[in-house]
Every structure is written in structure tokens, then in C-alpha cells.
Structure 1
Amino acid sequence: MDELLTFRLFIATVESGSLSAAAHQQGMALSSASHRLKRLEQRLGVTLLNRTTRVLSLTEEGAAFLQGCREAVAAMEQAEDRMHRRQAALSGEIVVTAPHDLGERRIGPALLAFQRRHPRVSLELHLSDGLSRGVGRGIDLAIRVGPLPDSALIGVPLGDDERRVVASPDYWGRRGRPAHPRDLLEHDCLVLTRDGEPQLPWRFQEGGRALSVPVSGSLRSNSGALLRRWAMEGAGVILKSSGDIREALAEGTLESVLDDFMPLSSGMHALMARDRYRPQRLEALVAWLKQWFREADGEGRRG
């Protein structure tokens, strides 16, 4: 088991690019982690990592050894998982990342329900509206809406994400309601950004054909929750997931327009590392999320 811990430390160091980060992830002191890697290199008689003051990089020998380490760790994880199956109870840790609004309003409740059903599973949720990064490097699962961002990841569909163009009744009263998506060019649109890039244009459909509108406005944010709050306070128009604004629509604090030009649905996916063994607890969580959203979306449409 001590050897396996060293292998995991080596893998984490390569994937994070930092021995300090890897030591923290593995729950050990930096001095102990450094000693472990030095002993490993001495025993193998090779240099695994090129070390500079800023960067760690793999040597040719290190790259070859990395694959063996991953196979050894995966084999042990499979053995552990088989034991968990024999015990008929899921256990272990799962780290999930999701956008702020989606995570707080929809993923959070789903994770809570899953953990209550499987009390030996430990769950951690990181909220970020940026593109998914870190899957396979401390993150087990990323929930994202839209095109898959990285071919190194595999996406499991969780459902469609229908969107609406909405603003507050006060805003529509002051500015008038658009009759066509192009009318949004004359409105203050609240734009979501990801990694500093505005998510434009807004996409609609007309007569079965795609229609793009390069909207603009004075307020942008990488937080979908903040954009929703601004819209509810009359600051402008947002394009938002129906699931994120369901309560606001029901309460009348937001009102939708252009429903006949319904924006094209974006797929919601659970993203995982393509080349990694996936333990039973992770497979079970993905299956749970698929069923959760299927039932929640069905209730939403009936409501």
C-alpha cells in the first residue's frame, strides 16, 4: 500500500504540474512527498521528473513509468471497487464541478439526495462558470451545458437544456417586448462570459433554420446567477436555462418572450476522463443524475 501511495503521488504531481499541490491532494507534507519521489527515482535508477524553479516536466523514462503507475493504480481501484460491490454499498469520494446557477439550483439537490441514499459516499461540489478544467486532475465529474469542450473527455448526456429569453415586467414595460429575435439588437442584453469571452451570438430558430443574433449590452458576468438577479431587478434581458428561471417565471418576476423562436436546446453532459477506470460510485452517480433530470424535466413540463 505504501508503494501504491507513492505511485499516486507521482501521478498527481505530473497531472497538477506541482509537487506542492500533489502533496496537498494526497494529504502529506511537502518534505515527505519530495522524499518519496527521490527514493522512487533512486530505486529505479532513473530521473522521472525534470525540476526547475517554476516547472516540473516528465523525462522520457518518467513518461514510460507513468503509464505503468496508472495501470497499477487502476488495477488496485478495480480490486477495491469489486470489494465494495461485494459489500453491497457504495463508498469513497467524488469531486464534482458545475456552473454556479446550475450547481446551486439543480446539481446541489441531486447530490444531496444521492448522498443520503449512499451515506458512505463523500461528495464535494466546486462551482465555476468557466469551461471544464481539471477533470482527471482532482475533479472526477464536470457538469456542463453546450458543446463538449475537450476531446480528452467523454460526455454522458443528462438531458436537454431548453432556454428562454426573459426580463422583468418592469423592463418590458419600459422598453417594449421584441417581436423578433433581431429586435434584441435594440435592447440591453446581459451577457454570460466564460474565461473572459462573451458567449455570443445568441442562437434561435426560425422556420426550422438557425438564426444568430449578436446582442450586446452594458453588463456582463461569468456568473449566471448574477445575470439572473440583474434581470429580475430590471437591468436587461437574459437568455437562460428554463430550469434556472422556473420559479421566477412562476412568480412573475421574470417574463419570457420570443417563445415561437425558441432557442435551440443545448445538451447537458456529465464529463469524465476518457482513459480512466471509473469506479462504481461514479457510474452510479451519473445514472442517478440522468434519472433525476429526466424526472425533474418531466415535472417541469407538466407544471
Structure 2
Amino acid sequence: MSMTSNQLAWLIRRHGIEMTHLSGGSHIGAILSVADIIAVLYADVLKYDPEKPEWEERDRMILSKGHAGASIYAALAESGFFPTEELKTHYQNGSRLSGHVSHHLPGVDFSTGSLGHGLSAGAGMAYALKKDGKSQKVYVVLGDGECDEGSVWEAALFANHFRLDNLIAVVDHNHMQSLDFCENTLELEDFGAKWKAFGWNVIEINGNSHEKLKAAFRQAQEKTEDHHPTVIIANTIKGYGVRFMQNDILWHYRFPHDGWEYDCAVNELHKNKPEGVDDPYTPDGIADPCFPSEEDDVGNDHTYSYTWNTTYPEQMRRVTADPATSDRVRSAE
């Protein structure tokens, strides 16, 4: 039975909690924010064959924000590329599931982790497919903080110049990066206008909505007379799906520790578990969970600008998007 995108997104989040918990690995906040994008891609958009990972007719997929690699590993395992049991080896010595995405794993077209490389590689793949007269698409999922890299914009110029309408970029715009909100780190907005100025068709949506994502991908796949590449700016919430992780920069690097962090994350996911999905780790959730005490560091501001006491205008200090109001389409021409 085929899996729905909602089922796959839940499993990506559940695997992500377990993988980072077992390995002591990082980036659960980014894994949670990108889960819906990855799930829609693998459940509804990408053309692939798990029995033939290097099938010539497959679409190409690059997770440029390679630090969220657990999301891709989970999607690949649930899509049949390798056994889900191997996910427990994430970040372990000798494992194929390195902390950042590795091409040694079937279904991975390009190793990522050094930010700013994915779109360049994707543009090269799209250009080669065009030269060979192929119809496959190339999808590149980037982080918004990654778009501080100049190489992203060099690739954007290249893609527009050669009219790579077979290249679709998706930015997981969760508005946070490393130590702070993006706008407190290096101003990106008006983000869509920047891509448009570089010649791209721009679609801005709620990136945690599967319906909006599916519609955006359908629009991006349509042939247009202008032949420009398309970027989907998917406004998401960092840590989406686990409330105490949402919009808290602490969870960019922290993993769910034993005790209330792990227990509460698992049980919150269980409250929203779709029908037809089994939890391979804790089938019924945590029966006797730990809860945070008044002394625990939860619900506090962990941004760099808070501790640094910067003089940013107040309206810049809390740039948190409301994805529900973020549906816009901009044409390159």
C-alpha cells in the first residue's frame, strides 16, 4: 500500500527524534521543519525506483541543507531504498548514515553538508539533462540561512541564464539559522524579490501545508513560455510538530536527551499520529513520561541576539512567519 505524504511526514519526524536521541546528533529543529517538504516530494512528486537507485529516468534530488540529513534517510528508508532498521545506526562509527548527507547511501545523488553547494550541483545536473534532451526534473532543497552563501546566488544567475526550467529549488524558510533568527544574522527580506530579481519564478507558500506544497509543485512542473527556473519559498516553523522545540534556536544543535525532552517529544507526536502508521520504537508512546520541572531550561529565549543584547529594532528581534498568510506567486517577467 502506498504511503500518504502525511503518514510519511509523521514517520520522518518520529525517526528524526529517535535518530538524534540515539546518536546524540544535532539539528532536530531543521529536521522537523523540512519534514513536510521531504514527505510531499517522496510521496507525491519525485519519479524514482527504490529497486534501481541509479535509474536513468529518475528525477534528481539534492538536500542542500545536509545537516538535516536524517529527514532524507528516513524518507529513503520508508520508500524502500534500504531497511528502516538501519536508521538506528545514524551518526555511529562505520555507519553509512553520516551526520550530513552521504552519497554512499542508495537514493542520494549528492553528498551535502558544506552549505551553498547544493544549488550549484543541481544547476549542473539540470544543465546536463537539458543538453542530453532529457525530461527529468532536478529538485534542490535549501535552508534559508544557507542563502547567505554567495555560491547560491551564482548558481541562481547560471540557472536563469541557461533557462533551466527543469530545476526547482525549495527553500525551507523556517526563519532561523545556527544561533538566531535569520533577520538578526544577515537580512534576507524581501526574500522573494531577490529571487525574482535573479530571474526566477517565485512561489511563496505555507511550507507545513501539504495541500499548498502539492499545488506549488504542480505549478512549478508546468511548462512555461519563459523557461525560467522556479523557487518555492516554503515558509515553515523550525521544530514544527513538537511545541517546546518550535521557534527555539536551542534545538538547532541540541538533541532530545533522556527524560522529559525525549518523552514529551514522542508523546506529542503520538497525539497527532495519522491512521495507518505504526511507531517502530514506542508503539503506544511513553506510558509514564517525565515532565519538565520549574528548574528545566524550557520556553526560554536562546537566541544569540538576546544574550548579546543587540540594539536591533524591536520589530526585527522576533521575525517569525505566519505560514498561513504566506501564499504569493511572483513571475520572473
Fold shared, TM-score > 0.5 on shorter chain: no
TM-score w.r.t. length of structure 2 = 0.23
Query: As a proportion of its length, which structure holds more strand?
Result: 1
TM-score w.r.t. length of structure 1 = 0.24
